[in-house]
Structure 1
């Protein structure tokens, strides 16, 4: 496992004491929590003898490996070495970082607890792979807390890390966090755009839960929602390039949307420019609205230029199933490079996945249930390695390990030409500015876009689709400005929910 790509979003710390675990089996609890959305697991057991700890760690490792989730061992470096798990987490009173690194080698993860700026800076300078910050609130699961620092203390540490050049070090916070406060903790702790939390660590919220899988899905939803403002702020701060290779019908609309969300647009369909543009740190949108042999050649060349530069690419397979020409173009593009995000309606995503469907123009009539659409999105994400956005009355976003539904938006979006295309533009700005978590970046673009539409639709000056468009652009800009200024009240309108997804065989 590449330790630079670990997702710290929902960090489960185990507790085997009867007061927390009860009479449940720890391995079964971890299995359920990981299935529900826990993204990393720390086995913490200060009391069992070494033989018992090794036995439990091996059982947990079998679970986490099956789900592609890292397992860390708290403090007991010898146990981690013996079972061969992904790393350890050490506190201020545990083994020194340098000694742990000698025993584990360079490729293992070592996280360090920090409850002050000094401890955090020292751990980063030593080489810690991530930090566990806290304690945020008082908790019954950890009695030896040095201090309760609250969200203000977390924010101070994050600001200090950014100022010292350690903004890239992942951070999670721990202590009294649960489904009722997780989103608020992330929002209130943020020192964005410079530095924000990468996730939350929980104990009782999962280990003591009656249904750990359901509890993990709720926390996954909370974490995703709590990180949305960070993405919007990052775009406002960075003004990333949004390079659109799109159809002539929507170029002006897409450029105005890019400006409204805080990006810098360029409409450039000539691929000879792509290599230079890819070096500017932005993202590319390949919109298949107009298909020609020359256009397809340009798309392939631009895709490969951005892949070579490490830049994100958003693919919008407009009308993918409408004609044989478009279906063949999809195959050509998929075989020519890697896409960061693939966005389309149900029939477009079915075509990209390889299903035989018919499509009339660029529209889509939904025939799949929500669970079927979620399964389709996850299956395509797993196959391509891209984050998939399946649009519709209910939108689905998946990166194969996390799948969420979004129920925002307004019917006016379906009554104006090019709104789907400009969603691709919006998402490109998000993934360009926030590359640490593409799913969260894509989700942020989708939620921003659709809540702005809801706000625009109810304005007194909007009487229909024609007056909706300028109001929509205004609201995109307004939400971006509000968020950059620290006002995230609009996020309360977000309707996001993590989903349990069945296996792909029924996709």
Structure 2
């Protein structure tokens, strides 16, 4: 017969657990999922006796054959042989791959669970038909996981097997995947030479009220690129009708006026979930730059607000359990709508509570821009993307311990890992999208002694990225320049004698730059001090 052709887009792993199925039968739920577009099914029954498992597998195989979808049995080669299904899936503690192949023959589909590069390379060398990579995130159905590897761990494995010449070996990932994070996981896991071929899910389909609809939605998410990937492609010159990305300072600066004008013309919504200390200041900054601000910390409102063509700012200035839950609700809404998100991990390294909140947010949402000072960016980066960062901050302040090349490398590496834009603020700001890194040497000392200037820079960035420019990195740099050159101009005004008189002058200059740019007067941009690093 030969080995069956397998589409790994949506891989369903299931068993007869009442906790997942509720009152439905396993066969009914599986058939509904197949109608919705599930492309491969694995039956996983760890505790069932052989007779029962064989009976269940035979029943399911009758269903999957009608839909021309392969059925695999977890670990139990004997059951697969008895049923005559398409193959098995084995873990690191199960039967060796070579033994399974000898028993099942060359035409069987054999998948292997891997969570490290060594495991992946051994499985590929041993002739695995596909790899199940994970666990990406913790999940109640995966209680025996060795470790949670996250999207960075998946990408590391994909890069390694591609480098070893196994780039054609199909791969899926598993662990905590659902409709709110599936596209982000596929996007952020992709290595330069290899991407995932699909995703394995359990509860996202089997515990859904309507498994058919859930499967259909998930297949659509797998097969269609997310809005944030399209934005990144356009920024790299891959979008329809877009030219090459700005690779040098002159080409970046040439595009800055268009960003400022687009905010002026479109008046995009800047939805701020921020601390009470800076709400009024942030709203005024948004208005002066041409955006329309709303300060709304209740996450349920995001379902409506995300449809208004704006961007979300999540400012972690005040961390509570309720606040974190609201952040996650809003982040899911904006990710689902394909609208930009700016994350400001205020004081991220100050306490264990804040460090845990950062990890939760990183694992729960795609963040178009991450903005923070050196200490905050160090905490977000962690130790190689997976461990606890022990850098301790004093409140929200940051003590600089890195030199300029180290700062540039940190923002570049974090942006490459998260596939977004990262801004590290300081005397010199560093901005990167993982491929291009720039330093901005504008601003003035008053920005460091007025509460909320760092937070409101996030608001300024949200206004720029909300306009959906062709190049998101340029949009961020445009916002930084607009903000910091306004500060320079304000500090030079004769009536400004200190922080108290600086703030109203700063708002005036933000407004004046916007109005001047709309008229075609770009004299302010001559002050831009940007260099490529």
TM-score range with shorter-chain normalisation? 0.5 to 0.7
Does structure 1 residue 381 correspond to structure 2 residue 381? Answer: no
Whole-angstrom distance in 2 between the partners of 1:475 and 1:325: 38
1:295 partnered with 2:295: no
Could you say which residue in structure 2 is the equivalent of 1:170?
241
TM-superposition CA deviations, 1:100-153 (whole Å, max 9, x none): xxxxxxxxxxxxxxxxxxxxxxxxxxxxx9xx9xxxxxxxxxxxxxxxxxxxxx
Equivalent in the alignment of 1:249: 277
| Distance (Å, rounded) in 2 between the aligned partners of 1:461 and 1:283 | 35
Distance 1:239 1:493 in 2: 25
Aligned mates of 1:254, 1:453 — CA distance in 2? 15
Separation of aligned partners in 1, 2:471 and 2:306: 20
> Matches of 1:170 and 1:405 in 2, distance apart?
29
Q: Structure 1 pair 464/335, CA: closer, same or farther in 2 (3 Å)?
A: same
Aligned residues: 295
CA drift of 1:365 comes to: 1.8
Match of 1:258 among 286, 289, 293: 286
The structure with more radius of gyration: 2
Match status 1:232 vs 2:260: yes
SS in 2 for 1:321: coil
- For 1:182-233, what per-residue CA distance to the aligned partner results, in whole angstroms no more than 9, with x for missing partners? xxxxxxxxxxxxxxxx668xxxxxxxxxxxxxxxxxx611111111111001
1:467 to 501, 507, 520: 501
Where does 1:208-357 land on structure 2 (aligned, <5 Å)?
220-354=248-382, 355-357=389-391
3-state SS of 1:285 partner: strand
Show structure 2 runs of 5+ residues with no match.
Answer: 1-161, 164-233, 383-388
Give secondary structure in 1 for the equivalent of 2:509. Answer: helix
- Give TM-score scaled by structure 1 length: 0.56
Q: CA deviation at 1:356?
A: 2.2
Matched, 1:428 2:462: yes
Q: In 2, Cα distance between the equivalents of 1:441 and 1:448?
A: 11
Q: Name the residue aligned to 1:497.
A: 531
Counterparts of 1:22-101 in structure 2 under 5 Å?
none
Distance 1:277 1:315 in 2: 17
| 1:400 paired to 2:428 | no
The match for 2:475 is 441
**Distance in 2 (alpha carbons) for counterparts of 1:171 and 1:352:** 32
Is 1:231–1:434's contact at 8 Å kept on the other side of the alignment?
Answer: no
TM-score in terms of structure 2 length: 0.54
Using the TM superposition, give the Cα deviation of residue 282 of structure 1 relative to its aligned residue in structure 2, in angstroms. 0.2
CA drift at 1:170: 2.9
Task: Give the secondary structure class of the aligned counterpart of 1:440.
Answer: helix
What SS class does the counterpart of residue 514 from structure 2 fall into?
A: helix
Q: Secondary structure at the match of 1:335?
A: helix
**How far is 1:362 from its partner?**
0.5
Q: Deviation digits for residues 390-428 of structure 1, max 9, x if unmatched?
A: 000000000001000000000000000000000000000
Query: CA 1:431 to 1:405, structure 2 compared with 1: closer, same or farther past 3 Å?
Result: same
Partner deviation per Cα, 1:65-95 (whole Å, 9 max, x = no partner):
99xxxxxxxxxxxxxxxxxxxxxxxxxxxxx
Whole-angstrom CA distance in 1 between matches of 2:241 and 2:254: 16
Matches of 2:301 and 2:308, distance apart in 1: 12
Distance in 1 between residues matched to 2:245 and 2:313, nearest whole Å: 29
- The equivalent of 1:410 in structure 2 is 444
Residue 235 of structure 1 contacts residue 263 of structure 1 at CA under 8 Å; is this kept in 2? Answer: yes
Alignment counterpart, residue 486 of structure 1, candidates 520, 523, 529: 520
User: What is the correspondence of 1:66-215 to structure 2 with a 5 Å cutoff?
Assistant: 170=241, 172=243
RMSD, aligned α-carbons: 2.1
Q: 1:458, CA displacement in angstroms?
A: 0.6
Aligned 8 A contact 2:283 2:294 in 1: yes
Q: What residue number does 2:396 align with?
A: 362
Kept after mapping to 1: 8 A contact 2:273/2:313: yes
Q: 1:169 to 1:484 in 2, by over 3 A?
A: farther
Q: Which runs of 5+ in 1 are unaligned?
A: 1-64, 67-128, 133-167, 173-197, 201-218, 500-507
On the 8 A contact 1:350/1:357 being kept in 2, the answer is yes
Say if 1:239 and 1:264, in contact at 8 Å, map to a contact too: yes
Kindly report structure 1 stretches of 4+ aligned residues shifted beyond 6 Å.
none
CA distance in 2, matches of 1:352, 1:270: 24
Native 8 Å contact 1:346 1:392 kept in 2: yes
Secondary structure of residue in 1 paired with 2:465: helix
